[in-house]
Amino acid sequence: MTVRVSEVIRGWLGWCPNARISTTTQPGMVTPPRENPTILSDGGPSGSGRIRRGKDIAATSIKILVRNRQLLWFSFLMLLTFLLTVVTDWYIPVISGTNAFPVVMNPPVILWVALTFTAAFIGIFVFFYLAAGLITCVLQIQLGNSISLREGLSRAWNHKRSIAGWTLIGALLWIPAGPFAIGFYLVTVFALPAIVLDNKDLVGAIRESVFIFRRIWVETYVSFGIVLLISIGFVYVTLFSLGQVAIAYGLIIGGILAGIIGLVVYVFMAICLVVMGIATFFLYTYEKTGYP
């Protein structure tokens, strides 16, 4: 059964006489004691305090992944989703005979729209489903419980209807807007934890996400930005190292090199998204409780 955030709050802060009390740090646990929080105290209305919180949340999220490397399975599954999406996007124009957003509707264009919508829906749903499983696993890690990848995904499946509804909106936006639909997902980034942690319906989750994003948009941008910059740095270092090896052994071949570059980018993108998913969990719980 999904644990509600309100129950988690009682467990962490000791509001319930039956609350789980932990006096030692467990592997993967970074939830701080009340008197010595890892996330620094609110800096008030000043921007420096909010930026500092964003930095700390990013650092905490990275530590969680490092200490719980089984979460990298989510990165692997997301990587497979990316690769499948790339192949699908390449193959749809071949089937339909068109590759641009239509102006005049005709049979090839209708086929293109139908295939694009179907592919977008499946890809986005799988990604959100994996993200919901990730949030479920991070919650249990913070509670000190062990949980497998399969169990996390099984619990996430309980929210399939809300996830499918959110996916439907995203797929409809993807056809005319393409990557520009990311703006919608950024504003509604906290809808998924609201669905998974507080069991909200789709409308309530989107409303909650917009409200939370307006309150902690600085922390969100800072934490996501730091994770993204670190990922880009790793991409450049990896590509530079591979380039040096290729030059040394004379292995520079255009098609192969382009494929390697694309694979490296997708691998680090998948890892980056998992860290951002963990950060989303902490941002959401921070806004709710004042503690990550």
pLDDT digits (tens, 9 = 90+) for 101-114: 556 666 777 788 88
Residue 127 or 239, more confident? 127
Q: What is the number of alpha carbons within 13 Å of residue 6 lying toward its C-beta?
A: 3
* Per-residue confidence (pLDDT) for residue 65, from 0 to 100: 94
Q: Where are the domains of the chain?
A: 5-289
Which pLDDT tens digit goes with each residue over 177-189?
Answer: 666 677 777 888 8
239 CB burial (10 A radius; 0-12, 13-18, 19+): middle
Q: Which two tokens stand for residue 261?
A: 């570059």
CA gap 213, 223 in Å, rounded: 13
With beta carbons less than 8 A apart as the criterion, state whether 235 and 241 touch. Answer: no
More confident residue, 218 or 258: 218
Give pLDDT, residue 248.
62
Residues contacting 203, CB < 8 A, separation 6+? none
pLDDT in tens, 215-247: 999 999 999 999 999 999 988 888 777 777 666
pLDDT in tens, 18-77: 433 333 333 333 433 333 333 334 444 456 788 999 999 999 999 999 999 999 999 999
CA-to-CA distance for 20 and 10, rounded, in angstroms?
Answer: 9
Give the pLDDT of residue 126. Answer: 94
How far apart CA 272 and CA 5 sit, in angstroms, is 25
Give the tens place of pLDDT for each residue, 132-174. Answer: 999 999 999 999 888 899 999 999 999 999 999 988 888 888 7
Is the pLDDT confidence value at 99 over 60? yes
Of the two residues 239 and 96, the one the predictor is more confident about is 239
**What band does 3 get if pLDDT is binned at 50, 70 and 90?**
very low
Side-chain half-sphere exposure of 151, counting CA atoms within 13 A: 12
Give the pLDDT confidence score for residue 8 in this predicted structure: 43
254 pLDDT above the threshold of 60: no
